[in-house]
Amino acid sequence: MRRSGSALLASLLVLGAPLVAQRAPRPTAFQQQHQAAVNRLIDAALADSAAWNRIAELGDRFGPRFSGTPNLEQAIDWIMAEMRRDGLDNVRGEPVMVPRWVRGEESAELLLPRWSKLPMLGLGGSIGTPAGGIIADVLVVSSFADLEAKAAQARGKIVLFDVPFTSYGQTVQYRSQGAIAAARAGAVASMIRSVGPFGMQTPHTGGMAYDSTVTRIAHFAITMEDAMMLHRMQDRGQPIRVRVQMAAQTLPDAPSRNVMGEIRGREFPNEVIVMGGHIDSWDVGTGATDDGGGVVIAWEAIRLMKKLGLQPRRTIRVVGWTNEENGLRGGNAYRDQHRGELADHILAIESDGGVFAPTGFGFSGSDSARAIVRQVAGMMARIGPIAIGASGGGADIGPIMAEGVPGMGHQVDGTRYFWYHHTNADTVDKLDPLEVARNVAAMAVMAYVIAEMPGRLPR
Ligand SMILES: [Zn+2]
């Protein structure tokens, strides 16, 4: 009767009938063993706004933390001093050479069919324009295919890619590859509609690429509103002319550091759970959501363990990786500098999607490990439903995951993240202190239980 039973179940679910009362599943022995410590961590995380305050102080004191700048290195010095004051173990900065791109003065204006200033941001890695700028007519296209269809009209123009946001992965192609495609069609510069789902006249910056076989042209972002307006002007048959001036340049690599502190394991100190985010940001805003918040919630998680006297069996190492945004040098350097320890890296957890309401963790690892991390997620129902997604990771832990370390990507409500991403509006006021505190709890519980359980998380 199994079949008819499940058919009945299916039909009841389709009808939306409540088959069983909403009740938490009976805790497993594993969960019972750790629940008391978990509750203490959650209580401590939710008790105050310490994490939000730290994100605010980091941004207010140092501003944007762009690779190669004194701001970033001073922020790293401050973090190390604060981590030592918190009593963390093995606080240090590990040297990494990072690229140094300098934006310089930049501006764009619409000359025809009417004059208007165009708020803009040069894209990271772009060359500058000649000192007097570039004045050229504009060709608006909707996609790479549309550019190919109109290639005969692109020569000598500034190409605008007016591509609406679908997903970040899809739309970002125009930021990263747009200058190559436009130059191949003979354009003298290229601009994109800022990559985001919603605008308030905020341009978004971000990384871009050149191809050694194609002329390098200046590449920049204008606001969503202006991109759509230029597109309407073209559709009406109006002439569009823009002047752009950019003093961007790439200087020699500069020294930076991956910054880290630990709570040392009491029984297996050489076994490491590594977690954190990237400490660098773009050169606009203060990198509150991308990714100061990711670093701070991981840091707060082990600060609370220290404060509560919860020293787990294994080491938890919190890392602020440097240069995620325009080079990934920090994540690669971590792999190289810790290659000998990677067999004992039990789990890597990265937070780089903002610190809005927590929703779970994407996990990439074995089925037996997945069953365990699901149980850990089940222990933090107090902070909201925490799901374990089918796969997860992150840019900074990617290099060590490629060497076999199980990886986890911290996940949050992503509704607003790309509103602020890589803009001057990425500041702490966009974050809610209680949501940030719930993220601290999620990170603390996940890392603590995996570090504390008697056996290693299986690979
Ligand atoms: Zn980021």
Average model confidence (pLDDT) across the chain: 95
**Which residue, 9, 11, 29, is CA-closest to 20?**
9
| Centroid of ligand 1 to alpha carbon of 13 (angstroms) | 40
**Which pair of structure tokens corresponds to residue 396?**
């900074």
| Centroid of ligand 1 to alpha carbon of 26 (angstroms) | 38
| Centroid of ligand 1 to alpha carbon of 204 (angstroms) | 13
Q: How many CB atoms lie within 10 A of CB 412?
A: 23
Predicted confidence pLDDT, tens digits, the chain (459 residues): 344 444 444 444 444 444 455 566 799 999 999 999 999 999 999 999 999 999 999 999 999 999 999 999 999 999 999 999 999 999 999 999 999 999 999 999 999 999 999 999 999 999 999 999 999 999 999 999 999 999 999 999 999 999 999 999 999 999 999 999 999 999 999 999 999 999 999 999 999 999 999 999 999 999 999 999 999 999 999 999 999 999 999 999 999 999 999 999 999 999 999 999 999 999 999 999 999 999 999 999 999 999 999 999 999 999 999 999 999 999 999 999 999 999 999 999 999 999 999 999 999 999 999 999 999 999 999 999 999 999 999 999 999 999 999 999 999 999 999 999 999 999 999 999 999 999 999 999 999 999 999 999 999
| 387 DSSP assignment | E
| Centroid of ligand 1 to alpha carbon of 292 (angstroms) | 9
Give me the pLDDT at residue 24, please. Answer: 67
- Could you give the residue numbers annotated as active site? 324
| Centroid of ligand 1 to alpha carbon of 156 (angstroms) | 35
Helix (H, G, I), strand (E, B) or coil at 166: coil
Let me know if 94 is exposed, middle or buried by CB neighbors in 10 A (0-12, 13-18, 19+).
Answer: middle
| Centroid of ligand 1 to alpha carbon of 291 (angstroms) | 5
Q: How far apart are CA 353 and CA 318, in angstroms?
A: 17
| Centroid of ligand 1 to alpha carbon of 352 (angstroms) | 5
**Which residue, 90, 81, 88, is CA-closest to 62?**
81
Give me the pLDDT at residue 25, please. Answer: 78
What is the secondary structure of 280-329 as a DSSP string?
---SSS--IIIIIHHHHHHHHHHHHHHHHT---SEEEEEEEES-TTTT-H
| Centroid of ligand 1 to alpha carbon of 278 (angstroms) | 6
Give me the pLDDT at residue 23, please. Answer: 62
| Centroid of ligand 1 to alpha carbon of 118 (angstroms) | 26
| Centroid of ligand 1 to alpha carbon of 353 (angstroms) | 7
Q: Which residues 6+ apart lie within 8 Å of 60 measured at CB?
A: 286, 428
What are 318-356's pLDDT values in tens digits?
Answer: 999 999 999 999 999 999 999 999 999 999 999 999 999
Can you give the pTM of this predicted structure?
A: 0.93
| Centroid of ligand 1 to alpha carbon of 134 (angstroms) | 32
| Centroid of ligand 1 to alpha carbon of 289 (angstroms) | 8
Half-sphere exposure of 148 (CA within 13 A, CB side): 3
| Centroid of ligand 1 to alpha carbon of 147 (angstroms) | 30
Q: How many CB atoms lie within 10 A of CB 200?
A: 10
H helix count then E strand count, the chain:
13, 16
